[in-house]
Amino acid sequence: MNDCRPAVSPRRLAWRRFAGDRLAVAGAVMIALLLAVTTFAPFIANGRPLLMFNRLTGEWSMPFLRFIFAPEGSETIIESFFNYAMIFAPAALIVGFFLRKRKRIRTAAVILLATVTAVPFFIVRPHQDPTDYRKVASGMPQGSFVVFAPIPYGPAELAAAPYAPPDSRHIFGCDRNGRSVASRMLYGGRVSLAVGLGATLLALTIGTVLGLYCGYFGGAIDLSLMRFAEIVLCFPTFLLLLILMVLFKDWNFDQSVLIVISVIGLTGWIGVCFIVRGEVLKQREMTYIKSCVTVGLSNGRILFVHLLPNIAAPLLVTFTFSVAGAIIAESSLSFLGFGVQPPTASWGNLLRQAYENPFEYWHLTLIPGAALFISICAFNFSGEGLRRFFDP
């Protein structure tokens, strides 16, 4: 008797391969958790109340809200980006859910929402607020209430004695300036993710464009670019990063996170370029590419509409592994003092503070080190799972 059961689709088979790898699933869950925790960091660690009610005056206020749209500190671009994602992502998911059957209206609504959400970030101006809200809360009349975040300290706020060990008030202790390590870990995670994702996207874009061009057209430009890439590849990458970081710092550019992203991205495209070029050299000899040339399609359409989707699988796998490498590079630079500059929170900066006596200041060694280990393993495990997912 013939088996009439429907065949399992290739997509479902691929998903089964990924879901069958427990380490890959665990890595994906950890990445999602890391993104969620760092994105919503102002609701988890904040020295300003989320909500205040004064019974005497009947006034309601949300002191933290202004600093969502106008963050304090030097790295305002990165902070504003994460705060924007914190507001826009949930709202877009809600709009998409209610308009899931109306694609055109849903697209227009999401675009409008993205524009409206961005407006306050350009209108609201930074404002220094030295108010000690914990002291204000203790002096409020009976019947009033104040709602603080679970960690009621900001990343730059002095919370206790320098190098205070973990206790019930400060679960991860304090750094050498008396700032809450738990709060700085959350906001430092924003820096690590921004560098990891931003630098990798920059390197992926440059490497993909150059690899597509070199692999498809060949010729003298291909030969020259490949020889240049081999020369750069032979040069010690970390030494090159240090040299470029010193040069950037001499220009007194205060957005140190953007400098780190630029440096790591501009030095990390070589491997991607080699991978893309090799894939294009194989794909350009296939029938579908020759058919595209025969019917007279433009080179841009052939490269980005037909070739690029067919080499996307190795690029996605490379992306996950490269994010882990970028996070390590940023932490190493910050540990040496050439990366993200104080007072901006960074996992590498916290590790640097424990350098004098890593055993006495064990909380500054263990906690940032564990966060780096877990995040890097999560991206590597997910990359291995994606490799199996795309394996035919």
pLDDT at 391: 67
Between the two ends of the chain, the Cα-to-Cα distance in Å is 30
Tokens of 290: 């020759």
Do residues 198 and 322 both lie within one domain? yes
Report the distance separating Cα 126 and Cα 69, nearest Å.
8
Q: Provide the CA 311 distance to its chain's centre, in angstroms.
A: 24
Contact 338, 355 (CB under 8 A): no
Do residues 75 and 128 both lie within one domain? yes
pLDDT at 29: 93
Q: What H or E segment, with its residue span, contains residue 257?
A: helix 256-267
Q: What H or E segment, with its residue span, contains residue 146?
A: strand 145-147
- Residue 27 forms part of a structural domain: no
Q: Which of 28, 38, 22 is nearest to 371 (CA)?
A: 38
pLDDT at 55: 85
- Residue 62 forms part of a structural domain: yes
pLDDT at 112: 93
Contact 24, 385 (CB under 8 A): yes
Report the distance separating Cα 149 and Cα 144, nearest Å.
17
Do residues 262 and 368 both lie within one domain? yes
- Three-class SS of residue 169? coil
Do residues 205 and 346 both lie within one domain? yes
pLDDT at 206: 93
Choose one of 105, 128, 147: the last residue of a domain.
Answer: 147
Do residues 281 and 382 both lie within one domain? yes
pLDDT at 1: 46
pLDDT at 125: 84
- Residue 373 forms part of a structural domain: yes
How are strands ordered across the β-sheet holding 59-61?
A: 59-61, 51-54, 145-147
- Residue 228 forms part of a structural domain: yes
- Three-class SS of residue 59? strand
Domain count, the chain: 2
Do residues 185 and 251 both lie within one domain? yes
Report the distance separating Cα 341 and Cα 257, nearest Å.
8
Do residues 186 and 138 both lie within one domain? no
Domain interval for residue 383: 181-390
- Residue 214 forms part of a structural domain: yes
Do residues 188 and 108 both lie within one domain? no
Report the distance separating Cα 235 and Cα 230, nearest Å.
9
Contact 381, 24 (CB under 8 A): yes
Do residues 196 and 340 both lie within one domain? yes
DSSP letter at 307 equals I
pLDDT at 159: 82
pLDDT at 189: 92
Do residues 362 and 281 both lie within one domain? yes
pLDDT at 392: 58
Choose one of 147, 173, 200: the last residue of a domain.
Answer: 147
Do residues 117 and 215 both lie within one domain? no
Q: What H or E segment, with its residue span, contains residue 323?
A: helix 312-336
Give per-residue pLDDT as tens, 288-313: 888 888 888 888 888 888 888 888 88
Contact 370, 204 (CB under 8 A): no
Do residues 127 and 274 both lie within one domain? no
CATH of residue 273's domain is 1.10.3720.10
- Residue 26 forms part of a structural domain: no
pLDDT at 357: 85
Residues of the chain falling short of pLDDT 70 = 1-10, 252-255, 391-392
Choose one of 124, 147, 170: the last residue of a domain.
Answer: 147
Q: Which of 140, 128, 172 is nearest to 153 (CA)?
A: 172
- Residue 366 forms part of a structural domain: yes
pLDDT at 9: 67
- Residue 63 forms part of a structural domain: yes
